């Protein structure tokens, strides 16, 4: 499985798009559900790693769900 270790994180890995595709194939995720999963992953990633202000988060511009 293609994984990329994140330096200085004691073994945490980052999945790239090929890894996500690989996992969807292994777990036989139906094609019609993949888009929703990718959308949710991108929203989660954006919420976790975007440098937003508390004000932006409070106004709902950044969602964490």
Per-residue pLDDT reduced to its tens digit, 19-30 = 889 999 999 999
For residues 34 and 20, the answer to whether their CB atoms sit within 8 Å is no
- Domain boundaries along the sequence of the chain: 3-58
* Residue segments in the chain with a per-residue pLDDT below the cut of 70: 1-4, 49-65
| Separation between Cα atoms, residue 28 and residue 48, nearest integer Å | 27
Angle, alpha carbons 42-19-51 (nearest 5°): 30
Q: What pLDDT, on a 0 to 100 scale, did the predictor assign at position 35?
A: 93
């Amino acid at each position: 499985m293609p994984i990329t270790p994140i330096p200085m994180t004691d073994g945490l890995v980052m999945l790239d798009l090929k890894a996500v595709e690989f996992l969807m194939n292994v777990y036989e995720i139906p094609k019609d559900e993949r888009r929703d999963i990718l959308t949710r992953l991108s929203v989660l990633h954006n919420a976790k790693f975007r440098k937003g202000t508390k004000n932006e988060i409070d106004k709902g511009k950044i969602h964490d769900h």
